Amino acid sequence: MKILILRFSSMGDILLAAPVLDVLKKEFPDSQIDWVVSKKYSEALKTNPLINRLMVFKDRAGLKKIRKDISRTNYDFIFDLHKNSKTSYLTRFSKNVFSYNKRVIERFLLVCFKKSYREIIPTTRMYFAALEKAGIKTPAKWKLKFGIDKETELETVRRFDLHNTNYIALIPGASYYTKMWPKEYFRELVRKITVSKTVKRKIFILGKGSEEEMIGEYISDENRSECVDLTGKLDLQQTAAVLKFADLVVTNDNGPMHLAECFDKKILAIFGCTTEEFGFFPYSVNYQVLQTDHLKCRPCTHFGRKKCPRKHFRCMMDISPDIVFEKICGMLNA
């Protein structure tokens, strides 16, 4: 049995798609499972033991090479969990291709006319629907997984003394501005946590990218002894190790939020322009979400924007540091 999975990006979507591997291996224990992924996000899968071959591409030429490879391989099932023009290009002459419903029309009606979904479906369950089309039974519950190289984990634990430190992981970045809680609010939140008598913790700031590094520098500037800026300093494996031993993860709607899910972390997620209907809440763990429910302009997009179209950004601005701190106290003292 040969199976191919197509999900190119991004990190969060890939982690949410990974439970299909457990389902497939349970159904077909001796199967060969290959996965096509963009090089930028391949690190999210390279340690997964259920994948026989990771087919990585960087550009159109790489896709063309993979297309030839697919045509030469007689796959019994191809599961298209991305469903775009590139996956259509790869599978144009293939049989037994199963995809999922991206709910494009429902999404359009929600964003443009605020017509609510009849049913909220977690993204992982949406991916399971592709397997169900092929007659494969899927579970009602699932767990996200990410394999950390043991040597990397031990080194990261030793480097930051994680076993002997009570700490909160902050993830202030996101793919778009309107998904990011203001850096000034994160800075104020750090002040409150580090002086608190009840929930005082050390803080590690995580993230990758030039903007995340600037934000991390800003947040940690006032208290570098208790607030350690690790943005841009860790790879995905090291980031996972830090998340694994955190008491709590405070995060925007981003990929590392789902990485924290892989280790059953308590997660406090702050959602701005997007809403639960899109299926990206951290459903598989003990989580709470802070969002501004009363705004009629939410959601203004299904993925994020570079700026607030109403220019008030109340979906994030109305969630004060006091509100987040109070929620942290409740989660840590529960």
Residue from 65, 43, 67 nearest 78 by CA: 67
| pLDDT tens, the chain, 334 aa long | 999 999 999 999 999 999 999 999 999 999 999 999 999 999 999 999 999 999 999 999 999 999 999 999 999 999 999 999 999 999 999 999 999 999 999 999 999 999 999 999 999 999 999 999 999 999 999 999 999 999 999 999 999 999 999 999 999 999 999 999 999 999 999 999 999 999 999 999 999 999 999 999 999 998 899 999 999 999 999 999 999 999 999 999 999 999 999 999 999 999 999 999 999 999 988 899 999 999 999 999 999 999 999 999 999 999 999 999 999 999 999 8
Question: Hey, do 2-133 and 150-332 end up sharing a CATH topology, with the first three levels equal?
Answer: yes
Q: What's the pLDDT at 285?
A: 85
Q: What's the pLDDT at 263?
A: 97
Please provide the CATH number assigned to the domain covering 150-332.
3.40.50.2000
Residue count of the chain, please give it: 334
Residue from 130, 114, 209, 133 nearest 171 by CA: 209
> How does pLDDT run across 149-182, given as a tens digit for each residue?
999 999 999 999 999 999 999 999 999 999 999 9
> How does pLDDT run across 47-73, given as a tens digit for each residue?
999 999 999 999 999 999 999 999 999
Q: What's the pLDDT at 334?
A: 80
Cα distances from 76 to residues 63, 73, 210, in angstroms, run: 21, 9, 43
Residue from 177, 163, 148, 185 nearest 322 by CA: 185
Tell me the domain boundaries of the chain.
2-133, 150-332
Tell which CATH classification among 3.40.50.2300, 3.40.50.2000, 3.10.20.90, 1.20.58.100 matches the domain 2-133: 3.40.50.2000
Angle at 311 between CA 306 and CA 316, to 5 degrees: 75
Q: What's the pLDDT at 284?
A: 83
**pTM summary value:** 0.96
Cα distances from 282 to residues 260, 276, 327, in angstroms, run: 9, 10, 17
C-alpha to C-alpha distance for 299 and 289, rounded to whole angstroms: 15
